[in-house]
Homo-oligomer: A and B are copies of this chain.
């Protein structure tokens, strides 16, 4: 059994879920995969907050202490772009592999981060940054690498979808938003969700993976203008409203669009309710694929983080073995 040391940045909704998930699954992973995953240090803002299941001795307010202290993988779950980007760059420079759920950072500085990681020979896992528990990054990077993707259509923001499906049941926009916030689905700043910006960032990352072509046009419309009456009217006509994110090939590049759309109630995407996410992928040879799952929430997102950590851990072992054999 090989030990993999994790420096954890952030212990909020997803970070706390990661610690709890690891506590329950550490033994299973060690016995099945020969990988003992140990969190060695955790960056938090507030040392005194009560965190059930988290060893207080691991907590620190110093990011440098987490990153510079001996560890194999730095897991970044603080969100935001300024500090997160510094921390990730420092981790890469020190030869740590990185796992992040930070889609805003990847949308803003993805290519730069990936280039630095490639140069230093370390991995960057970011499955958790898009669609929570759905393994969409792996599907696009590997499972569908053999095909030419023509179009991606999805429900990429769980908060908006939760709000829209609550409004279907008669809630006002504001009450539905409050309910989403109480459930912990909404981002720190709900504006990013509601204005469609979060969905647009995710769509951009998916499009980079799927198309490898320049963005020719991008339009983003959020759901703030949708009223309960609009949805009721759509339902009377056998339709409903979803915030749809769509990327498709156009001559010379890709066109990205995020907007609320009326879709027929028997459309696969109309059946996606609450905080669920869905991605439809159209491949030239593979035809239509659909992936559905929980797009937000503490434990679902934490499973994606942990899966990335495990894959990086097994790659580290393979590299070490190859070198040893040589």
CB distance from A72 to the nearest CB of B (A): 16
Q: Which of B133, B134, B285, B304 contacts A21 (CB 8 A)?
A: B285
Q: Which of B142, B143, B293 contacts A286 (CB 8 A)?
A: B293
Chain B residues positioned under 8 Å from A135 (CB to CB): 135, 138-139, 142-144
Chain B residues positioned under 8 Å from A121 (CB to CB): 325
Chain B residues positioned under 8 Å from A304 (CB to CB): 143, 146
Chain B residues positioned under 8 Å from A29 (CB to CB): 145-146
Could you tell me if B21 and A307 are in contact, using CB atoms closer than 8 angstroms?
no
Contact digits for A81-110, partner B, Cβ 8 Å, 1 yes 0 no = 000000000000000000000000000000
Chain B residues positioned under 8 Å from A307 (CB to CB): 142-147
Contact digits for A270-299, partner B, Cβ 8 Å, 1 yes 0 no = 010000000000010111111111100101
A contacts, CB < 8 Å to B: 17, 21, 24-25, 28-29, 32-33, 121, 127, 132-135, 138-139, 142-148, 212, 268, 271, 283, 285-294, 297, 299-300, 302-311, 315, 318-319, 322-323, 325-326
Could you tell me if B143 and A138 are in contact, using CB atoms closer than 8 angstroms?
yes
In the complex, the count of this chain's copies comes to 2
Chain B residues positioned under 8 Å from A127 (CB to CB): 143
Task: Name the residue on B nearest A132 (C-beta).
Answer: B286
Could you tell me if A294 and B303 are in contact, using CB atoms closer than 8 angstroms?
no
Question: In the complex, A82→B315 CA distance in Å?
Answer: 34
Question: In the complex, A310→B29 CA distance in Å?
Answer: 27
Of the A-B pairs whose beta carbons lie under 8 Å apart in the complex, a sample of 23, sorted by A's number, is A17-B285, A24-B285, A25-B146, A25-B148, A32-B212, A33-B145, A133-B147, A135-B143, A138-B142, A142-B307, A143-B304, A146-B305, A268-B271, A268-B292, A286-B299, A286-B300, A286-B303, A288-B293, A290-B292, A318-B319, A319-B322, A323-B323, A323-B325
Task: Name the residue on B nearest A324 (C-beta).
Answer: B326
Could you tell me if A144 and B311 are in contact, using CB atoms closer than 8 angstroms?
no
Task: Name the residue on B nearest A272 (C-beta).
Answer: B290
Could you tell me if B290 and A291 are in contact, using CB atoms closer than 8 angstroms?
yes
Question: In the complex, A315→B319 CA distance in Å?
Answer: 10
Q: Which of B21, B268, B285, B310 contacts A303 (CB 8 A)?
A: B285
Could you tell me if B133 and A286 are in contact, using CB atoms closer than 8 angstroms?
yes
Q: Which of B138, B285, B293, B310 contacts A302 (CB 8 A)?
A: B285
Chain B residues positioned under 8 Å from A290 (CB to CB): 290-293
Task: Name the residue on B nearest A291 (C-beta).
Answer: B291
Task: Name the residue on B nearest A137 (C-beta).
Answer: B143
CB distance from A96 to the nearest CB of B (A): 17
Q: Which of B25, B148, B271, B289 contacts A133 (CB 8 A)?
A: B289
Question: In the complex, A28→B293 CA distance in Å?
Answer: 31
Could you tell me if A310 and B134 are in contact, using CB atoms closer than 8 angstroms?
no
Question: In the complex, A308→B142 CA distance in Å?
Answer: 8
Question: In the complex, A143→B300 CA distance in Å?
Answer: 12
Question: In the complex, A121→B121 CA distance in Å?
Answer: 22
Task: Name the residue on B nearest A281 (C-beta).
Answer: B293
Chain B residues positioned under 8 Å from A300 (CB to CB): 285-287
Other A-B contacts than A135-B143, A286-B299, 14 sampled, CB-CB below 8 A, are: A25-B146, A133-B285, A134-B289, A145-B310, A145-B311, A147-B307, A268-B292, A283-B303, A286-B300, A288-B294, A289-B293, A289-B294, A318-B319, A323-B323
